[in-house]
Structure 1
Amino acid sequence: MVDRPETSDEWHMPAEPIRQERGHPPPKLAIVLPCYNEEEVLPETSRRLLLLLDDLSESGLIEEGSLYFVDDGSEDGTWQFIQSLAASNERVHGIKLSRNYGHQRALLAGLLHAPGDVVISIDADLQDDLTATKSMLSGYASGAEIVYGVRRLRQMDTSVKRVTAEAYYSILRAIGVNLIFNHADYRLLSRPVIEALREYKETNIFLRGLIPQLGFQSALVYYDRQERFAGVSKYPFSKMLALAIEGITSFSDVPLKIITILGLVISLVSFAMATWALWIRIFNPSAVPGWASTVIPLYMLGGIQLLCMGVIGQYLAKIYSETKSRPRFIIEKLI
């Protein structure tokens, strides 16, 4: 079903299919799937998606549909399968990147190159409910330009991953990042939204935070996430941590403000410790001279300085990568 959040009026979506009332024909749909070493799951993924396109066409929700697989530098037979499938089915297309650029850049490459009135992005592992695309298209027909797929439950995740993921969303909201809770990269974007996204040229990409900044009328579709059909997750802890840092540092300067406050607090604490050490020196002759005023501030200030330098370094690294203006991805082949 299509819902609207309880906290914002901007998410209002008309209940009636206003596009059809205004004479708009059913849209042409492109489905974008970033792939990295997905050889095991792609046969079933492509089979289900082609059946889905048939169903959407027969039900009148779309005029026509196509699949765009983006090979993000896979090391297995992913690209070979995409080539063979594209050769046998005209609705299947492939985009091969020159190397592994990461999930977000691969997804962006697909979004910017896939045609169509609407583009739906989805992972290739079949964990996202394909039937939710019908609700997304209904939301588009009712006037929404962006329709977010939101996980109703995270029962397929481990308890650790579920807790850390929900904590991460909460932290991002707390520091002012406009993010859709429990939304990953399963979403529908209309052509005007894609063209607006094309104007954003930053190298450091975090689409989950970038898409809501575009504005446009939006809606939510809730679905239940399934188990991975085959293969293993291509997002180990190191990549999830890198994506988490990317999300925080790309959309908020709160960590830098925290450093300023932390510096003030530590200065006050250090002044209090100096006063206490002086009191000990004057009124407790048996105390070992210099131990408090040397050891405690040394370790405390050293640790805080290293932490602050690390946070500042993250922002400097982003400035460095942005000023070089290197391509976000390079497409080696298009089929």
Structure 2
Amino acid sequence: MYFCMDKKLISFVIPAYSEEKNIALLYKELILNFEKISDTYKYEIIFVNDGSPDNSWEEINKLCKKNKNVVGINLSRNFGHQGALTAGYTKAKGESIISMDCDGQDPVFVAFQMIKKWEKGYEVIYARRKKRNDNFLKKYTAIAYYKLLSFISETEIPRNVGDFRLIDKKVLKEFLKLDEKDRYIRGMFAWIGFKTAFIDFERPERVHGETAYTWRKMIRLAMDGILNFSMFPLRIGFIFGIIMILFSLGFHFYMIYDSVINDVFYPLYKWLIVTIFGIMGLQFMFMWIMGEYIGRIYNETRGRPNFIISDIKNEK
């Protein structure tokens, strides 16, 4: 008697922005690795073109025509990495879903190590970088940021991980229930929880091109991580306020003492200038913090989608 086991479907979600030279290379490497496990698994590869100005969408179209297991999603404009990643997640049908970058810096062999971990019962598997090959400024600002985020966040967010991860389909189901507009996806998965494992790897250099993650985009992502997963910025104003009040009281007592004991005269305008500058600093700080949170409330209430799909190929 023969038993036929259904093959498990593995979904790959790959955002692409200006990656025309890397798309075919990554596809070939994925197919070569899948051939080794084709008796057990089947696959779908979802490329999401995030409004690329180059020929990325044309390259994705070629793969879709060649292989019906390749799904191509073309967004109506550039919605950013987090929006593109979310678009791919919404179309993934696999029992496990692996997200990775298209630039060759997320090694394919690590993705297949994740599958082995998943088979052992882990539901979220992160690829964790052993070391960063970034320039000095980017490397140490990233280290400082993760330390700050770890200190102030109410959710423990793993360090030295990006969006290279495997998630089980039940984790994806919970993720898709979250309707946040300002997305920090690695923090969202940390908040969701489930049984977690890590695979350490050394991240190679990009194969072609330069990163599309500008300083502006990185700062925006960092702000999303801090403001979406911590109430500390709201509280820091109170802390600085107390410090300013104590400093002001101490300075006032010193001036009173100096005036009475040492007979030193302090003109009134000096008191007024110091007091006014302190109050103005506190006001500006509170206004900035309140503006950030009010802006996020505004984004949530206006109900705009995280992405708009203009075309899709080989949709299942």
**TM-score (norm: length of structure 1):** 0.87
The DSSP-based 3-state class of the residue aligned with 2:200 is strand
Instruction: Verify the 8 A CA contact 2:97 2:166 in the aligned structure 1.
Output: yes
1:202 aligns with 2:174: no
1:171 aligns with 2:148: yes
Instruction: Give the equivalent residue in structure 1 for 2:84.
Output: 106
* 1:136-147 matches, cutoff 5 A: 136-147=114-125
Output the CA distance in 1 between the equivalents of 2:172 and 2:149. Answer: 24
Task: Give the drift of 1:274.
Answer: 2.8
Structure 1 residue identity aligned to 2:246 = L
Output the CA distance in 1 between the equivalents of 2:68 and 2:157. Answer: 37
Q: Aligned match of 1:116 in 88, 94, 97?
A: 94
Instruction: Verify the 8 A CA contact 1:73 1:101 in the aligned structure 2.
Output: yes
CA separation of 1:327/1:302 partners in 2, compared to 1, >3 Å: closer, same or farther?
same
Output the CA distance in 1 between the equivalents of 2:136 and 2:7. Answer: 42
CA separation of 1:232/1:38 partners in 2, compared to 1, >3 Å: closer, same or farther?
same
Task: Give the drift of 1:185.
Answer: 0.3
Task: Give the drift of 1:85.
Answer: 1.8
1:56 aligns with 2:37: yes
CA separation of 1:290/1:280 partners in 2, compared to 1, >3 Å: closer, same or farther?
farther
The DSSP-based 3-state class of the residue aligned with 2:252 is helix
Instruction: Give the equivalent residue in structure 2 for 1:127.
Output: 105
Output the CA distance in 2 between the equivalents of 1:293 and 1:265. Answer: 18
Structure 2 residue identity aligned to 1:167 = A
Instruction: Give the equivalent residue in structure 2 for 1:275.
Output: 253
Output the CA distance in 1 between the equivalents of 2:119 and 2:96. Answer: 11
1:79 aligns with 2:57: yes
Instruction: Give the equivalent residue in structure 2 for 1:253.
Output: 231
Instruction: Verify the 8 A CA contact 1:128 1:224 in the aligned structure 2.
Output: no
Instruction: Verify the 8 A CA contact 1:121 1:188 in the aligned structure 2.
Output: yes
Output the CA distance in 2 between the equivalents of 1:26 and 1:210. Answer: 30
With 23-32 and 305-314 compared, the bigger mean Cα shift is at 23-32
Task: Give the drift of 1:35.
Answer: 0.9
The DSSP-based 3-state class of the residue aligned with 1:233 is coil
With 82-91 and 45-54 compared, the bigger mean Cα shift is at 45-54
- CA-to-aligned-CA distance 1:161-191 (integer Å, 9 cap, x gap): 2211122111111113321110100000111
Output the CA distance in 1 between the equivalents of 2:294 and 2:167. Answer: 32
Task: Give the drift of 1:302.
Answer: 2.1
Structure 2 residue identity aligned to 1:139 = K
Task: Give the drift of 1:103.
Answer: 0.5
The DSSP-based 3-state class of the residue aligned with 1:67 is strand
With 279-288 and 191-200 compared, the bigger mean Cα shift is at 279-288
1:229 aligns with 2:207: yes
Instruction: Give the equivalent residue in structure 2 for 1:299.
Output: 277
Instruction: Give the equivalent residue in structure 2 for 1:32.
Output: 13
Task: Give the drift of 1:332.
Answer: 1.1
Output the CA distance in 1 between the equivalents of 2:80 and 2:48. Answer: 11
The gaps in structure 2 that reach 5 residues or longer are none
Instruction: Verify the 8 A CA contact 2:258 2:264 in the aligned structure 1.
Output: no
Instruction: Give the equivalent residue in structure 2 for 1:89.
Output: 67
Output the CA distance in 1 between the equivalents of 2:37 and 2:259. Answer: 82
Instruction: Verify the 8 A CA contact 1:32 1:107 in the aligned structure 2.
Output: yes
Structure 2 residue identity aligned to 1:45 = L
Task: Give the drift of 1:197.
Answer: 0.8
**TM-score (norm: length of structure 2):** 0.92
Q: Kindly tell me the number of residue pairs found equivalent between the two proteins.
A: 309
The DSSP-based 3-state class of the residue aligned with 2:167 is strand
1:161 aligns with 2:138: yes
Instruction: Verify the 8 A CA contact 1:277 1:292 in the aligned structure 2.
Output: no
Instruction: Give the equivalent residue in structure 2 for 1:4.
Output: none
